[in-house]
Amino acid sequence: MQRSKILKRIVLAAFAIIAVRLFFIQIIEHDAWVAKADEQHTMLETIVAKRGEIYMMDQNEPVAVVMNQTTYSVIIDPAVTDKDGIKAALNEYAKDNISADLDKVFSTEGLRYSIVARGVSHTAASKIADKGIAGVWFQKSNQRVYPEGELASGILGFVNADGLGQYGVEGSLNNILSGKDGLLKSISDVNNVALSIGDDNVKIPAEDGQNVVLSVDRGLERGIEEITQDTLNNSPAEHAAVLVMDPNTGEVIAMANLPNYNPGNYGAVKDASAYNNYTTEIPYEPASIFKNFIFSAAINEGKMDADTTYFNEPYTEIDGNKIWNAEQRGSLNNHTLTMRQALYWSLNVGSIQALKFLGDNPNEITTAGRERMYDYYHNKFRLGQATGIELIEAEGFIWDPHADIYGLNAAYANMTFGQNLSATMIQTATAFSAVVNGGYYRTPTIVRGTLNDNGEIIPLTDDAENKIEDKILKDETSAMMREMLINNRSYKLRAGIDREGYDVGGKSGTAQVIVDGAYDDSMTNLIGSYIGFVAPAGEMPKYLIMTKMWGEGQALSGGEAQELFDVLSNYVIDYMKIKPAW
Amino acid sequence: MKNRKHKSDLVILFATLGLMALGLIVIYAIGPMRANVLNSTYGSNYDPNDFFIGQLRSVGLSLVAFFVAFKVIPYELLRKWSKPIIIIALILSALLWLLAKVGSPLAKCELGECRWYNLGIISFQPAEALKLALVIYLADFLARKKEEGTIGAWREFWVPLIIVCGASLGLVVVAQGDLGTGVALIAIIFGMLLIAGVPAKQYLIMLAIVLVVAVGSVALSDHRMERVDAWIATLSGGESSDSTYHIENAMMAIGAGGFFGVGIGNSVQATGYLPESINDSVFAIMGETFGFVGLILVISVFVIMLLRMLKVADTTKPKDERFYVVGVFSWVLAQVVVNIMAMTSLVPVTGITLPLLSYGGTSMIFISFALGEVLQISCYTSREVINYNENTNSRRRVRGTHYSSRSRNSRNTTSKATRRN
């Protein structure tokens, strides 16, 4: 055979094999290779929505108290980057942001990706980028900034590393604040830079979160927090919570949870309980403050009035339990007293008497009395139930009037003076608002609405739909309660603490703490509360103030909480410029 | 004893020019992507048009080389200087090895292999020169031995042959670590030996020895075995790894191209996924861009060009010219087949350029020069196949062209008629 024919056959055979192979790869396996290539080329990137800012009110103008800042993480490919160059650049522009041990990064064999700095400002990041060092890139991230520092940390909450709001408004209104992330799906090059190649590219723009305006007054909040922290520093108490509301609208004007933490550095908190908002998340026994509610119920039902009398014994025995008055003095014991006196001296026997009146039998607690009390406590004052405020809330507990337990009447007797039940401060304050505002229960709120681009505040739709406004007490009942509460404090007026021209009413409460399921009778572990209102003399209450102070192993009577109220009520009058009436 | 001069082989001419033009188009489309990848990954500072301009320069120089070989330098001159040419080529390779040994900046090394002279703005790969020199030398050597009738003789034929070929292979494969050029050299040597009429038994023994040495050297080299393992892993659908990345991405590019391809400028694999996208892997990018239809067309151009070169060889009277053409044929064939087969995972990746299409100056310039000489030789072919009985060295009388062409035609007609019966 002619030898060149061998070469010709080699050519034809080789190219026949190649043609068949190409047919196999490009026609038969085409779909599989396309799928494999797409998997490699397609980049899915989340377009992060801008989180809404949080505003407080100041001089009736919204001011931002939570904002966003764009920061950058610096990422390097240690295998290709200029080691000395990037080290020098980082040390020069972002020394405090270096988050990795650079020497260790560079000595790790085979490492191709390392985040070496976090939280780098835009200016510093662009200066580093200007150096043009190979194998260095930047990842943008949004950081939450709290320019007021620790102010109102219990209201605000924080945003965790995953961008999720936690605690406070950040947590409860996360959906409104966070907006909706968009999606970018595109064909990208080997360095994940999107290419214009391909018709399968998708871009869903992000919906930015909405700016939220709180009803909280920034200046008042700051003042309240400073005063309260001061009081705390000079007291054995470890914690204090203060609530200032407009009883006529249900709006929260200030809400302090002390000690505060810095939401911008939330990780520094040692005990996660510091994140709690004590006013809404922690149910407790508000104690004698609750006497207002049983008194209101009995008066409203026409079963008694302020001057109805009863025979005050040192204790009363119910279901075999002796329930004692905290106040044991000769001028009170075994005397006929008015209900007004019972409230002023915070006599437990007196509040139990109100329950007896409510049940139409002055000598014992009846089923009808329990049912009516439950109707007021649970259905009208909504105690033990979440109020619907725009914050994370706990519920609480009120005994059912037909509960199948031994000593149900004793439990109800306890409930008249705010024990053997639980409720949060916001529940208590909202119910108390109804007692003093003319009898209207209104859903409390801490959010005015969202701020649109025109600077208008649009109320939250959830609030509009779920807002309760319920007339639960007669005008006269409310007026009688206000009168008693003001007179309860009249000695403060004489002492020069409350000022002429103003009506300041209030009631204290001292609760035993339940330890291991039983009341701690040692009286060394007490929570003190005080609730009251301020008004120009003879007018309706303008502001409601509730204080609470406690500390582990600390016997804190309503006295400390009352002293705090005394200071704060005057501060609120001054700050809110309430004019006196004569 | 040359034939009268006639027109050159237009098929080879246009195939060469066409492939160069296609290479330019492909580099024009993917050059900016390459620049972008290098800039963003390694912080280099390429202009998007740098690679196209580079290729334009290479094509320009290659065209000069092509037409100088075609029109200016008569093949006789090359034959006359064949010995100095091979000696200079061998010295250039040996000198590079020495320079690399002493760490001279004149030797340009990449990934531990020193294959280039660094001459300022341009670099030069002596192995490409060695391929051309060996073809020129062997054409002359084999023709002389043929005339002497000493083909197959140990002392007169094999000993000098083994020395020259051994030196060339040694410098390229061992000193420069360039297995791709080694494969091309072996193909050149054995293609030319085949056509020179080396006795079949000796030929097969030599081929067996070379194959054993080649397989042995691969098995003894870790990085070459890694490529073989990667190839086997790709074939058998094994685990993906760093070593299989190149071949997998080449297959991905070719496979994703489908029937008609994604079109010029739409290659995604060229944006950094496929290594060597403008050099050794350009075939895969063409597969993605032009699809099955495009690749079959490109391959057809190479097949037609190669078959035309065989025809030129068959119809060239001077033995040295005939052997030269077969040498160039073997060179092109080896590079095209090994490159494409590597890209389609039919053989392990060796790192060999696709003639006239891959980015890179030296390779294109030398192969263009070689093809220019082939084109020159094609101007002097007979119209009849020159048939030797290569095994016995006896030759038939050369027939008159006029008559023989007619007789060939009639023979063809007869055979067709016979078949029809």
Query: Which of A4, A26, A135 has its CB closest to that of B255?
Result: A26
Mark whether A496 and A420 lie in a shared domain: yes
In this prediction, residue B414 carries a pLDDT of 39
The pLDDT value given to residue A556: 64
- Which residues from chain A sit within 8 angstroms of residue B259, using beta carbons? 26-27, 30
- Residues A170 and A236 placed together within one structural domain of the fold: no
Please report whether residue A2 resides in a domain. no
Distance CA A476, CA A482 (A): 10
Regarding whether A171 and A298 lie in a shared domain, the answer is: no
User: Is residue A221 domain-shared with residue A143, that is, in the same domain?
Assistant: no
| pLDDT at residue A106, as a whole number | 83
Residue of A nearest to B275 (CA): A190
pLDDT band at B407 (very low <50, low <70, confident <90, very high): very low
B267 contacts in chain A (CB < 8 Å): 197
The region that residue A356 occupies, defined by phi over 0 for left and psi between -120 and 50 for alpha, beta otherwise, is: alpha
Please give the tally of structural domains in chain A.
Answer: 2
In sequence order, the 6+-apart residues with CB closer than 8 A to the CB of A524 are A553, A554, A555
Distance, in Å, from the CA atom of A423 to the CA atom of A397, rounded to the nearest integer, reads: 7
pLDDT tens-digit series, residues A500-558? 999 999 999 887 766 655 666 655 667 889 999 999 999 999 999 999 998 876 666 66
Averaged pLDDT, A176-189: 83
- Hey, what are A388's tokens? 């619907």
Q: Grade residue B416 by pLDDT with cuts at 50, 70 and 90.
A: very low
> Is B327 an interface residue toward A (CB < 8 Å)?
no
Return mean pLDDT, chain B.
85
Enumerate residues 6+ apart whose C-beta is below 8 A from B84: none
Please report, for the domain that includes residue A188, its CATH number.
3.90.1310.10
CA B181 to chain centre: 9
Specify whether A297 is located in the same domain as A434. Answer: yes
Residue B111, pLDDT score: 66
Tell me: do A196 and A230 sit in the same domain. Answer: no
pLDDT at B419 over 50: no
Q: Which whole number is the average pLDDT over A389-410?
A: 93
Contacts of A12 in chain B (CB under 8 A): 303
Say whether both A380 and A471 belong to one domain.
yes
Domain that holds residue A440: 217-262+276-575
Mean residue pLDDT across chain A: 89
pLDDT at B391 over 70: no
Distance CA(A325)–CA(A343), nearest Å, equals: 12
Residue B229 banded pLDDT, cuts 50, 70, 90: confident
Output the pLDDT for position B217: 80
Q: Dump pLDDT digits (tens) for B57-103.
A: 999 999 999 999 999 999 999 999 999 999 999 999 999 999 888 88
pLDDT higher than threshold 70 for residue B43: no
Contact B74/B377 with Cβ under 8 angstroms?
no
Residues A390 and A444 in one domain: yes
**Inter-chain residue contact B195 with A4, CB threshold 8 Å:** yes
How many contacts does A have with B, using Cβ atoms within 8 A?
136
Average the pLDDT over B280-296 and give the result.
Answer: 93
Asked if B40 is an interface residue toward chain A (Cβ–Cβ < 8 A), one would say: yes
Residues of B in contact with A80 (CB under 8 A): 41-43
The Cα B67–Cα B20 span in angstroms is: 14
Does A569 reside within a domain?
yes
Q: For residue B299, list chain A residues with Cβ-Cβ distance below 8 A.
A: 15, 18-19, 22
Residue B390 pLDDT > 60: no
- In this structure, is residue A14 part of a structural domain? no
What pLDDT was estimated at residue A264? 85
Q: Do B257 and A187 touch (CB under 8 A)?
A: no
pLDDT tens figures, A318-347: 988 899 998 888 899 999 999 999 999 999
Residues in chain A within 8 Å Cβ distance of B346: 17-18, 21
Same domain for A222 and A204? no
Partner-chain contact B268 A197, CB within 8 Å: yes
What tokens were used for A195?
Answer: 């290419």
Chain A residue numbers touching B40 (CB-CB < 8 A):
191, 193
pLDDT at B420 over 80: no
Helix (H) or strand (E) holding A64: strand A61-76
Share of chain A above pLDDT 70, in %: 95
Q: What pLDDT digit, counting tens, does each position of B199-220 carry?
A: 999 999 999 999 998 888 888 7
Give kind and range of the element (H or E) at residue A168: helix A168-172
CB atoms within 10 A of CB B231: 19
**B240 and A CB contact within 8 Å:** no
Burial call B242-255: b when 16+ CB within 10 Å, e when fewer = ebbebbbbbbbbbb
A1, A2, A3, A41, best to mutate vs chain B, most B CBs in 10 Å:
A3
Interface of B with A in 15-34 (CB under 8 A): 33
In the predicted structure, residue B404 carries a pLDDT above the cut 60: no
What percent of chain A is predicted at pLDDT more than 90? 59
pLDDT at B413 over 50: no
Residue A329 included in any domain: yes
Whether A35 maps to a domain, the answer reads: no
Band (A291; pLDDT cuts 50, 70, 90): very high
Indicate if the pLDDT at residue B415 is higher than 60.
no
pLDDT, tens only, B237-268: 666 666 678 888 899 999 999 999 988 888 88
Which chain A residue has the Cα nearest residue B199? A3
> Does residue B347 belong to the interface with chain A, where contact is any CB pair within 8 Å?
no
Q: What number is the average pLDDT over the span A238-249? A: 95
pLDDT at residue A371 tops 60? yes
Looking at residue B398, its pLDDT comes to 44
pLDDT at residue B383 greater than cutoff 80: no
- What is the pLDDT at residue B387? 65
What average pLDDT does the segment A69-85 reach? 83
A29 with B255: Cβ contact below 8 A: yes
Quick one: A237 and A160 in the same domain? no
pLDDT of residue A535: 95
Residue A508 sits in a domain whose CATH number is 3.40.710.10
Cβ of B326 within 8 Å of Cβ of A7? The answer is yes
Whole-angstrom distance, CA of residue A548 vs CA of residue A529: 4
Helix B159-169 to helix B179-196 angle, to the nearest 10 degrees? 160
A310 in any annotated domain = yes
Same domain flag for A222 and A191: no
Judged by average pLDDT, the poorest of A135-144, A231-240, A427-436 is: A135-144
Mean pLDDT value across residues A382-400: 94
Q: Binning pLDDT at 50, 70 and 90, where does residue B417 land?
A: very low
Mean pLDDT, residues B218-233:
77
Give the pLDDT band (50/70/90) at residue A30.
very high
* Matching residue, tokens 């048009």: B49
pLDDT confidence of residue B280: 86
CB contact under 8 A, A27 and B266: no
Token pair of B373 as six digits: 């000489």
For A14, residues 6+ apart whose C-beta sits below 8 A from its C-beta are: B333, B337, B341
Q: Rounded CA gap, A420 and A403, in Å?
A: 13
Higher pLDDT, B45 or B43: B45
Is there a domain that residue A542 lies in?
yes
Q: Is A340 found in the same domain as A191? A: no
Comparison of pLDDT for A25 and A162, the residue scoring more: A25
Query: Which pLDDT value is given to residue B274?
Result: 85
**Which positions ≥6 away from B41 have C-beta within 8 Å?**
A80, A134, A135, A190, A191, B272
Distance CA A506, CA A344 (A): 10
